[in-house]
A and B are shown apart, each in its own frame.
Chain A
């Protein structure tokens, strides 16, 4: 691509020495984008927006936050009551975490539905999963910082997961804690890492976008760009669309910030941490619930591997499996729009994740949706089974057996024919 000619002298002077303007021009004006992207393609840029919001609100929170076991809780209360607009900054940060996961989960399901993980986008997909893992670590450690009851006991239960590993388990947990229980050293290191991790995420996002610009965006048809007619410039067409999406998204986000700031939270976290009393019902934040359900659904021993270790392995496996789906999916067609059978399995997977989330929220011995005799743990086990079966069985088998619908010859053709049978 030819280098742009800059008329502005200052711009030209800078660009000759550090080609930032050429780079922006290259990735925004010249970057050819499929012309048929739907609103499902808005969530990547939205997630990026939320990341920046989290970093900014976080930096201002730190100015008033004290990372010490005796003071953390009250410093957060001070932020809420005394610091000018402290309540606003904290509520933005608190709800921002939920918004981040909403955007990223939609973004991931989008990728799953349209086969965006398939060649040549494997690296792009992998970096995305690394971002998800880093986000989980960040959000988990951030949630510990206000040092309420849920902070403390969530940290205790999750760090104890590592004790499941044979031999190294106990020393590992002691090392994570810096003591013999979750305590001040734990809080301090979590604070340090909670500050660091978002910048690691930022670095991963740069790689993610780099990979994206190398392999280009997928699109609802899953057919690659073939001629210039299939594409339009990112700016102004998609900058304006992303901006519009951001407006709608901000209404949603700020609704929670102003009118239901504790909607996603647990009231128990407004009780200061007490190492001697566990709250009767510990639940993780909503975005961890499906994984928590998988963890708990394993209450049996297999080949002498204890249930506790097996649960932990299953939970990690539920994310690790996402790394290999580019090879588990044997279909030649990317977009599920043209996959009459797989489409339905995708829907089941989607619902399955909500069922897992529900099971993660309830106590294992509760009845599922109040249905007498149907225990939450049993449903959780079935849902876990389907989760893994979807990736390990459905993806390879359906991909081989299914007869996809005919693909459009190009993006342009599908657009001209109208979206319906695209």
Chain B
């Protein structure tokens, strides 16, 4: 006691020791709390069963030229479009500097006639229209997102509207000529 009262200038060894203990306790407390918190935070990440549903197989033989289908993959739709000659040309002829998110059509497909993209608007996640026959395909013959008006072209690239990026191309492999595995 008497030591702490008289200390007006220099710290006494006792005080230094006390400061050290306070700091050390605080540090251990903070790190410890952080570590204890992590399991709770991580429990909110996708669980193993959710991660396990990671791939689907699709039969392509019943999708005629000019039409498209939606399949579910990881809880979201994937668009598979059997493109016409005209649509392929449209996609290939655009010059890259016209594009918001420049990417050649070549880089986005494995086989020219099959365009496979995740059907989720890169703006805020709505499902663009244009897959079912009769739905509007927007100004660039691809898809149109009704939520805030994004237009995608026949390569699924963003051309107009608030979306910043092209529709995502998922990883996929052609198992045979008429069947593809997504994921």
Report the Cα distance A185→B48, complex, angstroms: 12
Q: In B104-146, which residues have CB < 8 Å from any A CB?
A: 120, 123-129, 145-146
Report the Cα distance A261→B30, complex, angstroms: 49
Q: Chain A residues with Cβ under 8 A from B126's Cβ?
A: 153, 156-157, 278, 282
Q: Give the interface size bracket for A toward B.
A: 35 or more
Q: In A322-356, which residues have CB < 8 Å from any B CB?
A: none
Is there contact, CB below 8 Å, between B162 and A307?
yes
Interface string of B39-76 (1 = CB under 8 A from A): 00100111100100000000000000000001010111
Is there contact, CB below 8 Å, between B76 and A181?
yes
Interface of B is mostly: loop
Minimal Cβ-Cβ distance residue in A for B123: A308
Q: How far is the CB of A276 from chain B (nearest CB, A)?
A: 5
Of A181, A183, A281, A365, most B-chain CB atoms within 10 Å: A181
Q: Chain A residues with Cβ under 8 A from B149's Cβ?
A: 363-365
Is there contact, CB below 8 Å, between B76 and A278?
no
Report the Cα distance A414→B45, complex, angstroms: 60
Is there contact, CB below 8 Å, between A278 and B146?
yes
Q: Chain B residues with Cβ under 8 A from A217's Cβ?
A: none
B147 at interface by CB-CB < 8 Å = yes
Is there contact, CB below 8 Å, between A178 and B162?
no
Q: Chain B residues with Cβ under 8 A from A282's Cβ?
A: 126, 146-147
A306 at interface by CB-CB < 8 Å = yes
Name B74's contact: one of A153, A176, A179, A277 (CB within 8 Å): A179
Minimal Cβ-Cβ distance residue in B for A306: B164
Say yes or no: A175-B75 contact (C-beta < 8 A), given A153-B126, A278-B126: no
Is there contact, CB below 8 Å, between B146 and A276?
no
Report the Cα distance A156→B145, complex, angstroms: 14
Q: Give the interface size bracket for B toward A.
A: 20 to 34
Name A276's contact: one of B45, B77, B124 (CB within 8 Å): B77
Interface string of A203-214 (1 = CB under 8 A from B): 000000000000
Report the Cα distance A365→B149, complex, angstroms: 9
Minimal Cβ-Cβ distance residue in B for A275: B75
B148 at interface by CB-CB < 8 Å = yes
Report the Cα distance A175→B129, complex, angstroms: 27
Minimal Cβ-Cβ distance residue in A for B161: A299
A118 at interface by CB-CB < 8 Å = no
Q: In A232-287, which residues have CB < 8 Å from any B CB?
A: 275-278, 280-282
Is there contact, CB below 8 Å, between A157 and B124?
yes
Is there contact, CB below 8 Å, between A180 and B76?
yes
Report the Cα distance A277→B70, complex, angstroms: 10
Q: How far is the CB of B75 from chain A (nearest CB, A)?
A: 4
Q: How far is the CB of A288 from chain B (nearest CB, A)?
A: 14
Q: In B71-98, which residues have CB < 8 Å from any A CB?
A: 72, 74-77
Q: Chain B residues with Cβ under 8 A from A308's Cβ?
A: 123-124, 162-164
Of B50, B75, B145, most A-chain CB atoms within 10 Å: B75
Is there contact, CB below 8 Å, between A174 and B162?
no
Report the Cα distance A178→B74, complex, angstroms: 12
Q: How far is the CB of B102 from chain A (nearest CB, A)?
A: 15
Name A161's contact: one of B74, B124, B146 (CB within 8 Å): B124
A296 at interface by CB-CB < 8 Å = yes
Interface string of A380-391 (1 = CB under 8 A from B): 000000000000
Is there contact, CB below 8 Å, between A160 and B125?
yes
Report the Cα distance A101→B163, complex, angstroms: 31
Report the Cα distance A386→B128, complex, angstroms: 33
Q: Chain A residues with Cβ under 8 A from B147's Cβ?
A: 153, 157, 278, 282
Report the Cα distance A282→B75, complex, angstroms: 20
Report the Cα distance A153→B75, complex, angstroms: 13
Q: Chain A residues with Cβ under 8 A from B148's Cβ?
A: 296, 364
Say yes or no: A175-B164 contact (C-beta < 8 A), given A275-B76, A282-B126, A364-B148: no
Q: How far is the CB of B146 from chain A (nearest CB, A)?
A: 5
Name B164's contact: one of A159, A276, A307 (CB within 8 Å): A307
Name B47's contact: one of A157, A160, A178 (CB within 8 Å): A178
Is there contact, CB below 8 Å, between B77 and A180?
no
Minimal Cβ-Cβ distance residue in B for A189: B44
Interface string of A169-200 (1 = CB under 8 A from B): 00000111111111101000100000000000
Is there contact, CB below 8 Å, between A299 and B162?
yes
Is there contact, CB below 8 Å, between A178 and B45?
yes
Report the Cα distance A140→B112, complex, angstroms: 43
Is there contact, CB below 8 Å, between A277 and B127?
yes
Report the Cα distance A163→B163, complex, angstroms: 12
Minimal Cβ-Cβ distance residue in A for B163: A308
Say yes or no: A160-B46 contact (C-beta < 8 A), given A179-B75, A308-B162: no
Chain B interface (Cβ < 8 Å from any Cβ of A): 41, 44-47, 50, 70, 72, 74-77, 120, 123-129, 145-149, 162-164
A-B contact pairs, 20 of them (CB 8 A): A153-B147, A157-B126, A157-B147, A161-B124, A174-B45, A175-B45, A178-B46, A179-B74, A189-B44, A275-B76, A275-B77, A276-B72, A276-B77, A282-B146, A296-B162, A307-B162, A308-B124, A308-B162, A364-B148, A364-B149
| For the complex of A and B, 8 pairs with smallest distance between CB atoms | A181-B75, A180-B74, A160-B125, A160-B124, A278-B126, A157-B124, A278-B127, A156-B125
